[in-house]
Amino acid sequence: MGWMAKRRLRTGPTAALPAKPDQATLLRLLRLADPGARADGADVVATDVRVHAPVEAEPDLVGGVLEKVWACRVTAEGPLPVDFFDVFLAEGLAFRLGGLVVCRGEVSDPSDEEGGGPAVILPARPSAEDLAPLLEQEDEFTFTAGAVRAAVVPQRGQPPAVAELLPFAVELTAVELRGDEPVKLGALALELSEALNGVAVDRRRFRIEAAEDLLPPE
C-alpha cells in the first residue's frame, strides 16, 4: 500500500476491522442506516457516502491494537455529508464488527463511548398521554421509566434510516433514552417504536432490530 493510500486511511473516517467483511455483510449493516444503500462495484453507497471495499492494512493504523486490520474508508460522493453521516457510518460498522475507528489520525473504540443511547424517531411530537403507558412524566420534556430517563426533543435533520416516516412527518421528534443498561434501553426503545409507530435507532441512527444490537459483539 502506497503512502498516499495510508494517509487517506488515517485521515478517514475509516472503519478498521479485525476480519474482512464480505459485501453482503456490509450491505446488510449499512441498510440499517440507509434502507436505500446499494452495491456499486465492490463498494457500497449509502445516501451521499461511499463505503469502500475493505483493504488489508498494517496494524500500526490502529497502534497495533488489532493483529489484523481490514480497513473500510468512508468518503463523501459530493458535498460534505450532512450531520456527520460519514463518521456515523464508520462508527456503526466498527461497533457491529468489533473494530475501531480512525478519523483525522485519531483512533477510537466505539464500544467505549459514553453519553449516548438509543432513540425512537417519531413523525410528530407525542403527547404525555401517548407516552403514559411506558413513561412517567417529570416535566414538559422529560420522562422516566425506573432508572431510564427519556427526553423528547426535535430530531435534528432527517436520518436516512427513518425515510419511511418522512411522507407523514409533521415534526420529526426523537425520544432520547439514557441509562446504564443497554439491553433495557434497547427493549424500551423497541416497545416505544411499536406503540407509537416510530423507528428505534442507536446513537448513530442505525436501526435496531433487537435490544442486544446495543451491545458490542463478543
17-34 pLDDT per residue, tens: 999 999 999 999 999 999
| Structural contact between residues 147 and 157, judged by C-beta atoms closer than 8 angstroms | no
- Number of Cα atoms under 13 Å in the Cβ half of residue 144: 4
Last residue of a domain, one of 112, 136, 167: 112
CATH number where 144 lies: 3.30.1370
Are 126 and 198 members of one domain? yes
- Alpha helices by DSSP H, 99-143: 128-131
Task: Name residues whose C-beta falls within 8 Å of residue 167's C-beta, 6 or more positions apart in sequence.
Answer: none
pTM confidence score: 0.92
Q: Mean pLDDT score of the chain, rounded to an integer?
A: 92
Cα four-point dihedral sign 186, 108, 89, 40: negative
Q: In degrees rounded to 5, what are phi and psi of residue 28?
A: -60, -45
Domain that holds residue 147: 119-214
Q: Is 12 a residue whose pLDDT tops 90?
A: no
pLDDT band at 1 (very low <50, low <70, confident <90, very high): low
42-76 pLDDT per residue, tens: 999 998 899 999 999 999 999 999 999 999 999 98
